[in-house]
Chain A
Amino acid sequence: MEIFNYFKAQTIEEAYKKLNENPSNLIIGGGAWLRLSSKVVETAIDLIQIGLSQIVETESSFEIGASVTLREVEKNESLANLYSSIVNNGVHGIMGVALRNLVTVGGSIFGKYSFSDLITPLLAMNTEVEMYKGGRMPLEDFLKLRTREKDILLKIIIQKEEGLGYYYKMKKTGLDFAVINVAVTKLNSKFKIVVGARPSLATFAVKAMEYVNNQSKITPEVIEETAKIAVEELKFGTNSKASEEYRTELAQVYIRRGLKEVTNNEN
């Protein structure tokens, strides 16, 4: 990556104006991922002085600013009350403390990384994204947005729901990217199932969720069937980390375990 100018915006309006002055201009978070790219950037815009570095707890939600680091998310004890701490645990599994002290929520969400250990648990919770121009939208809709219009991610908003959760990142070595990751949550008898690193971006197993949420009792057979439906509907692929077949097998196992865990923990 090559950056010609570095601009510390004082206000969000100023950042947005600068962002649109040149097609190559972009926002820089921790810069850890950007640094690996081969982009040539006229101006990188730093948001650090705008005040998006807080986790604000309101009566009904947590608002996490774009400049908050993943380490701050990991260490936030109030967030750990949501869905058996799956967000804290998810980011805890990303590399070492020295990386998590640097990388930001804004960069991690805006980048829409398919291996993300943040997006998968967040999707299985009740999360919205707030963009400067695009406004507020569910994380699911943000992930589906095709045209990457130039915009600034201001914060994410997580509803305070104390449901049960399960998150598992299957990785080959301690510091590696996920071969597959799975989040399962349960709130008021409703399950959500999300699978990421397939190797494509995290998504809901919609048919499996519909099936399990229509059952009056969660038996071992129902769990088995739900996991089967999930891997039939989801697309898996092959890359250097794992084959399509292996990922399909793994996903089925972890979905089963997730469903069992959030069901058993209730009793």
Chain B
Amino acid sequence: MSEMAIEAVGLGRDFGAFRAVTDVSFSVEAGEIFGYLGANGAGKSTTIRMLCGLLLPSRGTARVAGFDVGQKPEAVKAAIGYMSQKFSLYLDLPVRDNLDFFGGAYGISGRALPRRAAEVTELCGLGGLGPRITGTLPAGLRQRLALACAILHRPAVLFLDEPTACVDPQARRLFWRVIRQLAASGTTIFVTTHYLDEAEYCRRIGLMAAGRLIALDTPAALKRAYVPGRVFLVRGENLAATTSAVRAQPGILAFEPFGAGLHLQAEPALWNEASVKLAVERAGGREVVVEAADPSLEDVFLAALGRAEPAA
């Protein structure tokens, strides 16, 4: 393995007396999709903005695409693409003029520019939209246009700050297809999100809470580490009335409504599927099905928060 695509060492940022990011350290391999998860205000955007050279770190250093962010910001800028959290293209210009501007901004000129613009338009599924005024596009298309503008110069590292906020599920899936294609062709992706299901697309994820990086690993390893025991899903009708009966069962570690069903986390040794099913049916549940489920990242996140809080 040569150099890491992103390497942060003790990176931190204060706003006045407020610590927005408290000394985070991590590294991201080239070609990896790295997810950064956390609630609003956790410090995700602040971290990204330091890595992009938009914000000076108060402490620590970072190397992106092989260049030190503090010392070679120009080289970093040329090597990265960035989609900010707020949609930020020119709404009053047509799609093609936005592509033209950002292409030129990255130094692409002459015949290479329209050729490259056509390529990214194709890749992002924006064919035929060139003359449309950007402000009239639906959110999903805008998002993909912002992505197209951010990858015109074939960046080695792509930073996406909540790229799919306010986008419908269909558009999110399309967006992620493009992201995975980019990663497959070698682009390193650093993406923040608060959609936990999206984190499953990431090879590794970092969990942020109150400016701290509280956990970092692959989704599977995180689940193993933070969600001991097994997870079960109870489905059926009239389950709302049965919660106290379920809770009384032996070996139940955690418990929460999940859609129309119940999400259980249980100690494997004490788990008795038949007795749980019986208890639910006695309490009034009908057509009850109990099945083993994968722990979700939500479980992981809650567990990690629970462990981090007493320490903090």
A binds B: no
